[in-house]
Amino acid sequence: MKLKRIICSCIIIGALMGASCGGALAEDSVVAKAKLTKAEAEKIALEKVPGGKVKEGELEMEGGVLLWSFDIAVEGSKNITEVNINAVTGKVVAVDVETPADQAKEAKEDEKEKEKK
């Protein structure tokens, strides 16, 4: 009986460890697909926003395309410029200026999305 409990416990622990590592493995595989490092992509993004400083940058999948996405601020402006770089080719995919109202709307949408999870 003790042996059965030990075996069951090992199986459960192994399953839990596998589940907790799954997210990390998935994230690592996405990063591995990127041909550009974050620093390389950041340099490209900053060329599109002279005098800008990166507030935030992340690797994300959008519409089946792996992107480095950067939020860039310029001193003296409340706007944020979002620059998306294809993480495989290094091409600039989009450059969008977000006003404070746009930023607030996006923050609300992100909050709603987090609540769903």
Q: Tell me, what's the pLDDT at 116?
A: 85
Would you give the distance in Å from CA 81 to the centre of its chain?
16
Contact 80, 48 (CB under 8 A): no
- Coil vs helix vs strand at 89: coil
pTM higher than the cut 0.75: no
pLDDT along the chain (117 residues), means of 10: 48 46 50 89 97 96 95 96 97 96 90 85
Would you give the distance in Å from CA 23 to the centre of its chain?
13
Amino acid of residue 49: V
Q: Tell me, what's the pLDDT at 30?
A: 64
Q: Tell me, what's the pLDDT at 33?
A: 84
